[in-house]
Every structure is written in C-alpha cells, then in structure tokens.
Amino acid sequence: MKYFISDTHFFHEPIIEFCHRPFKNVEEMNQKLIQNWNDTVKSPNDEVYILGDFVYQGDGEQANTVLKQLRGKKYLIKGNHEDYLNDKNFDQSFFEWIKDYYSFEYKRRKFILFHYPILEWDDYYRDSILLYGHVHNIDVDYFTRMLGGNAVNVGVDMNGYRPISIDEIINIVNSREMSW
C-alpha cells in the first residue's frame, strides 16, 4: 500500500500551539505521531511518501532516532525545513530516495507529489491529483477552492496525525468530483 504524510514537524514545540495540535508537549506529540504511523503502516514493504517538513530545525541524530522507529519504505519530497539532511550524522539510507518533486501513475491516474500547494501541475487538465502539505490546517476552504477537487493536503494536521492511504485519497477526490 502507498501512504502519504507531510508536516510532522518532529521536535517542534511551537507547532503544537500554532496548529492547535492536541498534545501537552513535544515528547507526547512525537510519540503519538510515531504510534499513529505504525498503527497505520502495517508492512515493512508499504511505501510512505513524506512530503516535507519531517523534522523541524532538528539534527541528523534526531531524524535518525525517529526514522528507525517508523514502519515502511520511506521516500522524502523535500520541504522547507529539512536542515537535518545536511548534518553529517544523518543516515540518508533511511530514505529510498530524496527528491524535490515526484510523479507516478496508479489506477490510470497520475499523482503529483510536491511540498507546496500550486495552482496547476503536470496533467492538471487530465485529472491528475496533486498531493501537498506546507500550509498545515490554515484556511482549508481557501486552498480547496483555489486548487480544486484534485488537490489533497496530506499534512498531519488534516489527517488525524497519521499517514493517509492512496485509496483514501482517491475516495476524497471522487467524492469531491460528485459535488463539484
């Protein structure tokens, strides 16, 4: 199964208040994000695409500590807070690959993965689906209106602090198509 997640912001205490996350402190948040991930991603062969901002202003050791606890094959689309990638202590082998942008096909639909919301993307007029993060839970209606029904925010603040499956995404897009 393919899963997607963005903006976990591990080790970022201020994100709790900024996004109204239901955690007392960063330790509780980190543990809950890890637990939710592993409760969702069952197989070591499941693929998890992280669409940026995995660890906020953290170092390589912090990123390593979290990544070794998470199930699945992990792929990183870089966000604007990936400083740990430049730390000599970071073990890049935790990721299958690291990219700025990625696209693939699944069930005859093209999926575009990018950290940022964008107004048009590859095959936009052929019903491709954009998966993004970056904006957390800020003005959800605005982004839905601006980007349309084929763009889905996969940030943790939008998806119960867990990865979301590709089939869940398809269901969201299909339900929007019926209402547009």
- The H-assigned helical ranges of the chain are 14-18, 26-40, 60-67, 140-147, 166-179
Architecture (CATH level 2) of domain 2-179: 4-Layer Sandwich (3.60)
What burial letters (b/e) apply to 41-65, b meaning 16+ CB within 10 Å? beeeebbbbbbbbbbbebbbebbbb
Phi, psi angles (nearest 5°) of residue 83: -60, -30
- C-beta separation of 24 from 31 below 8 A: no
Token duo for residue 54: 């995995």
Judged against a pLDDT cut of 60, whether residue 179 lies above it is answered with no
Helix, strand or coil, per DSSP, at residue 141: helix
Report percent pLDDT > 90 for the chain.
88
Judged against a pLDDT cut of 60, whether residue 180 lies above it is answered with no
The residue type at 49: Y
Of the listed ranges 69-78, 113-122, 147-156, 171-180, the one predicted with least confidence: 171-180
Closest CA to 159 of 26, 34, 7, 1: 7
The residue type at 170: I
Average pLDDT, the chain: 94
| pTM of the predicted structure, to 2 decimals | 0.95
Phi, psi angles (nearest 5°) of residue 63: -60, -45
pLDDT in tens, 153-176: 999 999 999 999 999 999 999 998
So where are the chain's domains? 2-179
What burial letters (b/e) apply to 98-116, b meaning 16+ CB within 10 Å? eeeebeeeeeebbbbbbbe
